[in-house]
Structure 1
Amino acid sequence: MAAWSSSGDPSSRPPWRRHIGRQLRARDHREKSAFQELIQQYNKLLEKSSLLKELTETLPTDPLVFPAGQVHRLRASTSGSNLLEDAATQQREVEDIKTFNGKLACDACSLKHQVEEQDKKLSEQNSRVKALWERTALCCAERDTLEENVNVKVEANAELKQEYDLLLCRRQVVEETLQKEELEAQTVLEQLNMLKAVRAENQNKINERREHHSWMTHRKNALRKTVSDSGYDPTSQILVSVCWSNAIPIIDFHLNASSLEHSSVTLSGSLESVKKQRDRSLSVPHGPAKVIEVFKKLFDFSPKKEQESLYTEQTFYLPSSICVVCGLPDKVVSSKEIHDSEIHAVKFSPNSRVVATGGTDRVVKLWEVTGGILQEYQTLEGSRGGITSIEFDPSGLYVLAASFDGAAHLWKLDGKARESLTGHSNKVTAARFKMGSNRAVTGSKDRTVKEWDLQKAACVRSISVTSYCTDVVCCDSCIISGHCDKKIRFWDSRSESCIKEVTLEDKITSLFLNQDQTQLLSCSRDDTLSLIDLRLGNILQEFRAEGFKCGCDWTKAILSPDGSYALAGSVDGTIFVWNVLKGCLERSMSGQHSSSVNAVTWSLSGSYVVSVDRGRKAVLWSEF
């Protein structure tokens, strides 16, 4: 600094040094100007005080020290003025001035102290300014380096931009070529599909003509044939007539039952053709094709044929009467323990002759209702978890059950497990057939609803939901699922979109669809049954009763076959019956169950109701 100050021209100094000099001069001017007036006043006071001091020293303040002659002369010289009073006044002024001088001295000391503190701060700021200047120099050097790097990157990016523009032009050319080729491929594919459709239509016409000609030939041959035993007996003759209605054979037969033991059948040609036609008509699981199968098995007297097969056909295949008007069940015809542990599900078969039950003992039991008694017919095994729901297919040949092992199991009534539908990651809470026996829908606690192809045992559709599913039902146009988040969701059969939602007061425990698929009955944990109109999408009625409480999260509520009554079991074992038309409680039945009733089922014939509880008991009710 000394070397720099001794140098010549100030313009040759660095800028920061000139800046510091300017700051010091400004500080000196600012601090001097603030106290300049105070210093001037202080100097004036000092001058006045020195003058008064001299005056007071020359004039004695005590009048006693003056001789009488001097006092007389002083009084005479002052032309009668009171010098003593003037002296006292001046003495007081001097004291006031001294006091004021003392205050000014104190203020000067404090100001001096402040100046010293400001000097310290200034020195600290000077040191910080020096450090900042050094840091600024480093930052400038880094900035220069970064600018050089930026320039290099800009040049590299410019080169890459040129390459990118070239590639973009090439991509546009390739996309245009691809679009042209896709349009050409789509045109060719459409032409091929049209050609295939024309060929398929022509082939179908040829096949129809061939089948029509073949069936006409078989019909003529069947009409010419008769069936009799070795010794002709007119009472044992079987007359067979084949008529046609929409290309479906309907066989009417008359049989004298007393001659079955001696009959020998020679209808191999006509029955074989009927069998082929039945195999081609897989979409018709019952009706005329079923009658043909019964007719063929009835007259098959092969030594290997067992009498039990005939019993099976008569018991499970033949349809039962459908109830038009239901009566109220009020009579207990059977009550017994049928499982080793808690029972969760019960279901009547379509012919009202068989009841299936399942629970935590991992088996499904089939019971035959004969003479008002439940007789065990078959036990279906294969599940590794408890059974949560049971469903029969429309033909009554297959049983589908949901299980806690994360799968749904399909059995044939001969006791053999046909398929296991695996794919859920948690308990399967519901399983239902959809539009016949070839499709099924399952709901699970893994928050999914899945649709299955039973012929392939493969999942063809999976719907993800925000809440786990407690029950599902299927109608012709949609899938309906109930969930723990208090909502009933309606899913389009052709997509995964939810087309409608109905929100209840508490989580759903079960869903039940009436026979004509116009009304839906739901049961929820707020001890309420809700009847929903599927055509309008609103709640028609709500059923409650004093003492009715849902016993668990899978309590099942049902409608009667004619839709006139709603039925559900309570936690105390009482069964409540509501009149749907009147909207009131019709009847309550108690005394048979000692624990919570989990599920109930009503036969399609309207004759029987079966209720099952947590205490392993099943009760068969009848209206007679």
Structure 2
Amino acid sequence: MQTTHWHADIVGQLAVLGDRYSPSLAEVFASHNELARQSKRITQRNLELERQLAILRMEHADLIRSSTAAGDFSSPNVQKRIQELEQQLSEIKDERAELYKTQGQNAQRLLELMDITKKQEESMKVLNEENKRIIAANSSLTTKANDLQDNLREKDNVIQILRDELQAYQLELSQREEQLKTAQETVKKLEVDNKELVERLVSQKEDTAKKMNEANEYIENALKTRKSVGSPVSDALQPPGPTVGPSQSSVPGNIRATATAAGFFSSMLRRVSGDVPQTDARYREVPLVQSLLPISAVKVVSAHESEINCMQVTPDGSMIASGGGDKKIMLMDAKTGVQRGQFTGSLAGVMCVAFNNTGDLILGTSNDNSTKIWSIATGRPKHTLTGHIGKVYSAKFTESNKIFSGSYDRTIKHWDLAKGYCIKTIFTLSSCNDLALLDPEGNLLASGHIDNNLRIWDTRSGNLVRELAGIHGGQITSVEVVPNSNHVLTTSRDNMLRLIDLRTYETVQAYASEGFKVGLNWARSCISPDGAYIASGSIDGAVFIWNFNTTKLETTLKAHTSAICSTVWNPRGGAALYSADKDKNIVFWGI
């Protein structure tokens, strides 16, 4: 029974090991199971033989007793039966010895199998460690693959943008070819006119020379006549009298005529590639407010049904407008956050909002390639500006209520609301993320693009004043004019903010910090009304505020949990700062 229990225990252990390592020990376990079955059959056979042996012994004892009782051991039948029993007993003993030998061999094989199993376990341990290492490596490779897929998608987007830009370049080339063709026709016409003018001038000069020759001949004849009659030579130069010499009427007309004075005209051509002039004093007026560092979140407002893309404050600082992916513009009180209005009509997400100087109009640019203008008093739309063939990411009012808009179709358009149409289109060579007016009427304009460059434009002529390349290593997402200064602040996906002097076109300050990452292509930064601080949102939901003059990071505000799309300082100053994120939240910051 002990042997059976030991065998069953080994079989159970091997069964457990077989369940764990069946892929690698299938052959060993199959051999073991066969040996186990053989051992079981041998054990059963051994028990059966032992029972038969016991029965034979009992029969042998009975026979001995019977023979003893009978007293006749020499009986042939008895002797024969005894020999048969002894022979059977010998065979059973031999068979039992063979079974014991086989059982010993099985036990030895089991021990060998146990050693093999132990080695296999050690091998499996090594394989498990290797498997863990491979799983970790696979996880790392999966992460890298996901990153590569993200990069691939981004590259696909870049390729699409480049294709769009190529299409725009082809369109611009076609227009330039048409302009060149028109110019060539004009040149040909001017050449014909010039040839006619030259011919007329030559003819006129020939006529003048002929008349002068006639006059000279007349004078010579008059001098000869005066000399022959004895008059002074000086009298010959006087006009002939009515009674001496030829009549007055015979003097050629060119002698009586006086030479006409030639005039000229000049025009002053402004050289737009020079320094940018100081802007209008009304536009650069120093705000009579002081800005303070915000400390905590005063209020959190969930304004939209979808992610927020943009935000702006009215010029008087009384209300805030936000645009989102739900195609709406929400207007709310700048102190309480209570909704004051809602503007609808866009067919896609709103990417930029802006107010005019008087605060009675609001515009919203959209991914539907249009810009819409609403009356704040009535809430009704007044204009829809269509003409761009790409998403419109930015637009600004001028002081006279004209509008400049920048689009992903690589153009900036100048709109006249009184006429209701585009009065000028500027080809920018790259998709425009943001623009800023450098004077009240936008005669000079700065634009930030996805090719990482900042461009300055003379919008009256449509000429490029300056292109600043290399200032950023990523696309520019925001361009802000610094109050009372000839500087603009740019924000880029390279996680840097740079202050550009428009007189020298040099970077004079750079703002960055550990952990600060610009999370969106349309992320907007802001400058405090007194120009003391700069605020910008990060991809992790933190708002970073730097000292404008020293570039020192003054504070980091945390209340958002997702990428911040816009920060805006209230024009009234103080610590009233607002920030909006992709999770539909607007945070009111204060003290």
Give the TM-score normalised by structure 2. Answer: 0.51
Match of 1:549 in 2: 517
The partner residue of 1:490 within 451, 456, 466 is 456
What are the within-5 Å matches in structure 2 for residues 8-19 of structure 1? none
Say if 1:175 and 1:543 are closer, same or farther in 2 by CA, change over 3 A: same
Structure 1 stretches of 5 or more lacking a match? Answer: 1-167, 182-285, 287-320
User: Secondary structure at the residue paired with 1:176?
Assistant: helix
AA paired with 2:446? I
Distance 1:437 1:552 in 2: 32
Say if 1:437 and 1:362 are closer, same or farther in 2 by CA, change over 3 A: farther
Indicate whether 1:593 and 2:560 are aligned. Answer: yes
Match of 2:391 in 1: 427
Say if 1:402 and 1:174 are closer, same or farther in 2 by CA, change over 3 A: closer
Is the contact between residue 437 and residue 454 of structure 1 (CA under 8 Å) also seen in structure 2?
no
Indicate whether 1:448 and 2:448 are aligned. Answer: no
Match of 2:324 in 1: 359
Deviation at 1:397, TM superposition (A): 0.8
Say if 1:396 and 1:517 are closer, same or farther in 2 by CA, change over 3 A: farther
The partner residue of 1:478 within 426, 430, 444 is 444
AA paired with 2:490? S
Say if 1:496 and 1:180 are closer, same or farther in 2 by CA, change over 3 A: farther
Does 412-421 or 515-524 show the bigger shift?
A: 515-524
Deviation at 1:179, TM superposition (A): 9.6
Distance 1:456 1:175 in 2: 42
Distance 1:498 1:460 in 2: 18
The partner residue of 1:606 within 559, 569, 573 is 573
1:386-440 deviation per Cα after TM superposition (whole angstroms, max 9, x unaligned): 1111111111111111111101111110201110111000100100112x14211
Say if 1:424 and 1:173 are closer, same or farther in 2 by CA, change over 3 A: closer
Is the contact between residue 356 and residue 401 of structure 2 (CA under 8 Å) also seen in structure 1?
no
Say if 1:179 and 1:409 are closer, same or farther in 2 by CA, change over 3 A: farther
Distance 1:179 1:595 in 2: 77
Structure 2 stretches of 5 or more lacking a match? Answer: 1-187, 202-281
Say if 1:172 and 1:474 are closer, same or farther in 2 by CA, change over 3 A: closer
The partner residue of 2:382 within 418, 421, 425 is 418
Distance 2:291 2:444 in 1: 28
Is the contact between residue 475 and residue 517 of structure 1 (CA under 8 Å) also seen in structure 2?
no
The partner residue of 2:313 within 348, 352, 370 is 348
Tell me which of the two structures has the higher relative contact order, counting C-alpha pairs closer than 8 angstroms and 6 or more residues apart.
2
Distance 1:508 1:612 in 2: 19
1:149-204 deviation per Cα after TM superposition (whole angstroms, max 9, x unaligned): xxxxxxxxxxxxxxxxxxx9xx97996289979xxxxxxxxxxxxxxxxxxxxxxx
Is the contact between residue 359 and residue 386 of structure 1 (CA under 8 Å) also seen in structure 2?
yes
User: Secondary structure at the residue paired with 1:431?
Assistant: strand
Deviation at 1:323, TM superposition (A): 4.7
Match of 1:468 in 2: 431
Match of 2:153 in 1: none
Deviation at 1:536, TM superposition (A): 2.6
Distance 2:343 2:194 in 1: 62
AA paired with 1:176? E
Point out 4+ residue stretches in structure 1 off by more than 4 angstroms.
171-175, 177-181
Distance 2:434 2:320 in 1: 20
Say if 1:174 and 1:488 are closer, same or farther in 2 by CA, change over 3 A: closer
Distance 1:517 1:454 in 2: 29
The partner residue of 2:466 within 497, 500, 508 is 500
Is the contact between residue 450 and residue 462 of structure 1 (CA under 8 Å) also seen in structure 2?
yes
Distance 1:322 1:423 in 2: 37
CA RMSD of aligned residues (A): 2.4
What are the within-5 Å matches in structure 2 for residues 215-614 of structure 1? 322-369=287-334, 372-413=335-376, 414-434=378-398, 436-476=399-439, 477-503=443-469, 504=471, 505-590=473-558, 592-607=559-574, 608-614=576-582
Distance 1:529 1:173 in 2: 56
Q: How many residues align?
A: 312
AA paired with 1:596? A
